[in-house]
Amino acid sequence: MANAASGMAVHDDCKLKFLELKAKRTYRFIVYKIEEQQKQVVVEKLGEPGQSHDDFAASLPADECRYAIFDFDFVTAENCQKSKIFFVAWSPDTARVRSKMIYASSKDRFKRELDGIQVELQATDPTEMDLDVFKSRAN
């Protein structure tokens, strides 16, 4: 399923793991990587349900771009337990320019493959995706 614009294919596993997270909450998070040589998006890392936001943040490389999904649990002002599925476009300032361009140009097409994303976050450094940012965007 490559698209002419970015020429990026999406590995079937990307969708399958997302559906498992969405339907069965099998994972806390999924980190996706673009294999530039193969021109496809693949699953790089899966977070266990018991893992935290800290574990998630630690799984994103400091100087390489990634896409990620995070299943965020929170309690509303009315004391209801809820969860929201976040799509995170991680593009650190220190990443290679070419890499940032590839991730940016492939993002919307990749997101369309994952049906059920509720919030999108763009982050260029860790402060832009810390826990407070998730909390404020979830409500």
Please tell me the total count of domains within the chain. Answer: 1
pLDDT band at 1; cut points 50, 70, 90: very low
Residue 4 falls inside a structural domain = no
The token pair at 12 is: 């079937």
Q: How does pLDDT run across 97-127, given as a tens digit for each residue?
A: 999 999 999 999 999 999 999 999 999 999 9
Residue 93 falls inside a structural domain = yes
Q: How does pLDDT run across 52-65, given as a tens digit for each residue?
A: 999 999 999 999 99
What CATH number does the domain containing 19 carry?
3.40.20.10
Residue 3 falls inside a structural domain = no
Cα separation, 53 vs 131, whole angstroms? 7
Cα separation, 31 vs 23, whole angstroms? 18
Q: Would you say the C-alpha torsion 1, 18, 111, 54 has a positive or negative sign?
A: negative
Task: Residue 38: give the domain boundaries.
Answer: 9-138
Q: State the pLDDT at residue 3.
A: 43
Residue 79 falls inside a structural domain = yes
Q: For the whole model, what pTM was predicted?
A: 0.93
Residue 100 falls inside a structural domain = yes
Contacts of residue 78, Cβ cutoff 8 Å, sequence gap at least 6:
none
Report which DSSP code applies to 53.
H
Residue 60 falls inside a structural domain = yes
Residue 28 falls inside a structural domain = yes
